[in-house]
Amino acid sequence: MSGLAERAAAFVAPSPAHEPAVAPPRFAPRALVLGTPRDAVPVAAALAGGLREQDRAAGAVLITWPAPEAPRAALGTPGASRLVANLRSRSLPAVARGRLAWVALDADGPDLARRALAVVAVPAVVAVTGPRTAATDELFAEQDQIVLVVPADADPRLVELARDGLAEWNVPVTVRGPLLNPGARTTALAGWGRLRLPA
């Protein structure tokens, strides 16, 4: 089985009996992006910027899991810096990058992601770049949008299979390609990107 087929199967594979998660009260938009680290993280960062702009918020939160290492802090706006201070006060590893508070999580990622989402009232995007588990599945029901990032040469049958595997959550699913323009990727990863999904 090819690497792409394995990743698609991981997204589709049902997780062990899951209980529907109770979403924390919120008013800001939430989205979850699935894909490889190289493809999903820049899209998630740009989408967080787009949701921030759409919501007219001072900043947004980007959560990445699994993340082998946290990104370095970069120039951040006052709004992003306030979000970082809030998250760090709750022992969540956050750094400011542009307009984003970036939280890179490792082993306990899904549980910590839910904690982070529960304490912020701004747009937030979670990038899941590992296999689906019961813990990651609990995040799906709490989203307004799920984005599946696939390369241009992906097998359409595998993409459709992955999309069908997300249908049970009754959350709109968008399938799109990665950010191919190097400038767009760099801008997104620096926390200044703005991506809006079709309505």
Whether 195 maps to a domain, the answer reads no
Amino acid 71: pLDDT: 86
Q: How many domains does the chain have?
A: 1
For 2, residues 6+ apart whose C-beta sits below 8 A from its C-beta are: none
Question: Ramachandran region of residue 21, left (φ > 0), alpha (ψ -120 to 50) or beta?
Answer: beta
Whether 45 maps to a domain, the answer reads yes
Whether 196 maps to a domain, the answer reads no
Whether 68 maps to a domain, the answer reads yes
Show pLDDT as tens, one digit a residue, over the chain (199 residues): 455 445 444 544 444 444 333 444 557 999 999 999 999 999 999 999 999 999 999 999 999 999 877 788 888 999 999 999 999 999 999 999 999 999 999 877 888 899 999 999 999 999 999 888 888 888 998 899 999 999 989 999 999 999 999 988 899 999 999 999 999 999 999 999 999 987 6
Alpha helices, DSSP H, located in 17-124: 37-55, 78-88, 109-118
Place of tokens 């921030």: 52
Amino acid 4: pLDDT: 47
Q: For the stretch 152-184, what's the b/e string if a residue is b when 16 or more beta carbons lie within 10 angstroms of its beta carbon?
A: eebeeebbeebbebbeebebebebbebbeeeeb
Amino acid 26: pLDDT: 55
Whether 61 maps to a domain, the answer reads yes
Segments forming the whole domain that contains residue 60: 3-13+27-189
Whether 92 maps to a domain, the answer reads yes
Contact 93, 68 (CB under 8 A): no
Amino acid 19: pLDDT: 39
State how far the Cα of 21 lies from the Cα of 125, in Å rounded to an integer: 17
Evaluate if pTM is beyond 0.75: yes
Amino acid 193: pLDDT: 95
State how far the Cα of 126 lies from the Cα of 33, in Å rounded to an integer: 6
Whether 127 maps to a domain, the answer reads yes
Whether 123 maps to a domain, the answer reads yes
- CA-based nearest residue to 66, from 125, 129, 8, 137: 129
Residue type at position 35: G
Amino acid 118: pLDDT: 92
Where residue 141 sits, what CATH number does that domain have?
3.40.50
